[in-house]
Amino acid sequence: MYCGRCAMRYFLMCLLAGVALAGCQTTAEQAVPFDPKAAAFINVQGAGKIDGHAFYRSETGRVIYAAGEKVWLIPRTPYTDRRFQQLYGEGKYAQAKWLPTTEADPEYVKHTRSTKAESNGRFSFDRVGAGEYYVATVVTWRPEGAMFVSGGAIYEKVVLTGKETEPVKVIVSGK
């Protein structure tokens, strides 16, 4: 059982760890600027459709859906490649309590789309133009008796050629 002071200490330790990790970035790691022209294809209205399902399998094997969570469609650019490498490392899952704090360029945020996942973790993006994208969301839950949530951020890459006649299917599971 956690007391209020312990919870605050844990929160502060996680916050400081995130700041420390962000502070460990070298100048070369931070040097990839956001280029709005490279991400402009997010605003091109196409005939493509992405149908997805977002979930995560907990340590106990239970499937947890991204129910009601925001799902982002993010154009793949050198900036987003670098950002995702900083956030996720070599995997497609970043545990919530270890996510480093990295500020996004305000223009980057303007060059994304989002939707909300249904209760079963399903989501769709319509009128998507050709290009390479990241599809990202979070899946969290509170284990019974735990004070803090488990889970984290997950993503998957998806490519639309502009020639698709059926929706592109994507499973976002962190694997």
Tens of pLDDT along the chain (175 residues) come to 444 434 433 333 343 334 333 444 443 445 789 999 999 999 999 999 999 999 999 888 889 999 999 999 999 999 999 999 988 989 999 887 655 566 788 899 899 999 999 999 999 999 999 999 999 999 988 888 888 888 899 999 999 999 999 999 999 999 8
Query: CATH code at 20?
Result: 2.60.40.10
In Å, how far are 38, 49, 52, 77, 138 from 69, measured between CA atoms? 27, 19, 13, 24, 7
State the total domains in the chain: 1
Cα(83)–Cα(104) distance, integer angstroms: 8
Supply the range of the domain harboring residue 68: 4-172
Rounded to two decimals, what is the model's pTM?
0.80
